[in-house]
Structure 1
Amino acid sequence: MNMESSESNLVEVWGDTVNFRSMLFAIVIGSVVSTGTFLLARFYMSSLSGDPTLLNGYAMLIGLGGCLLSGFICSVMFKPARIVIASSEDNSENIKEFIVGLIRDDPNYTSVNDLPSEVKEELDLLKLMPVFQEAEAIVKKES
């Protein structure tokens, strides 16, 4: 199902922006599938012999499975409508200024080279090791 999404159809729910029509359809699908699964399971379980409380509990468990099924159905039907804009601008100067501030504010900070090897590897992967080293040089010049 492909729904047109325009800015007028978007609403904010629990801190996330969603398409209102898609959300309503998802609520209906979730209600019908999960409730229907529970009612069918309860009907089937009532035909079995055994403790009715236990059988009703099993029906509720199957109803929870229906909730998962409805979540899967909705995830297939309603793809994310977000537009992600990746910026190619270099923010290393802003990051460097931020790190300089962190180094100034932490009296226990010694050097990026004193960090555990796992942390240094992460900084290398994020290409932040040279930024930390430049920030350290700036702070040392100021001292």
Structure 2
Amino acid sequence: MKSTYTEIKESPKGKDSKMNIEVWEDLVNIKDLVISLIVCSVMALGGYFLAPNKPPKPLFFGLSGAILGFVICSIFIKPNRIFIETEQED
């Protein structure tokens, strides 16, 4: 017997497909997407504008802000996927 996982692309809150859009063959909640975009943009631009005005520093501060924004979003926004384990016989 072989154990496999089947992914269900459906919101756990029910069949509210109006709240989801498809991005790269994956369903994304619009609210979570907008919050992520805002947090990452604010962090990246904040790092860029707070950096000293010497040439490489704004780039590094902006990239650091974007990475920090990604980490914050990955902690607070959880995936909505549901995996069901099924068994297959060869």
Could you say which TM-score interval applies, normalised by the shorter chain? 0.7 to 0.9
Separation of aligned partners in 2, 1:14 and 1:7: 16
Letter in 1 for 2:18: S
Identity of aligned residues (%): 31
Match of 2:45 among 27, 32, 35: 35
**Which consecutive aligned stretches of 4+ in structure 1 deviate over 2 angstroms post-superposition?**
4-8
Distance 1:22 1:56 in 2: 34
Larger radius of gyration: 1
- How far off its partner does 1:8 sit? 2.2
Structure with the bigger RCO (C-alpha within 8 Å, sep 6+) is 2
TM-fit CA distance, 1:10: 1.2
Aligned residue type for 2:66: C
Please give the TM-score of this superposition, normalised by the length of structure 1.
0.49
Q: Which residue of 1 aligns with 2:28?
A: 18
TM-score of the superposed pair, with normalisation by structure 2: 0.75
1:72-126: CA deviations, max 9, x gaps? 0100110011111111x3x224xxxxxxxxxxxxxxxxxxxxxxxxxxxxxxxxx
Question: Where does structure 2 lack aligned partners over 5 or more consecutive residues?
Answer: 1-11
Letter in 2 for 1:68: I
Output the CA distance in 2 between the equivalents of 1:80 and 1:16: 11
Two-structure CA RMSD over aligned residues (Å):
1.7
- Give 1:62's aligned amino acid: F
Match of 2:85 in 1: 86
Higher helix share: 1
Give the Cα separation in 1 of the matches to 2:85 and 2:71: 28
Figure out how many residues of one structure are paired with residues of the other and give that number. 77
Corresponding position of 2:73: 74
- Give the AA of the match of 1:39: F
Whose strand fraction is larger, Structure 1's or Structure 2's?
Answer: 2
In 1, Cα distance between equivalents of 2:82 and 2:56: 43
Correspondence list, 1:53-132, <5 A: 55-87=54-86, 89=87, 91-93=88-90
Residue aligning to 1:139 = none
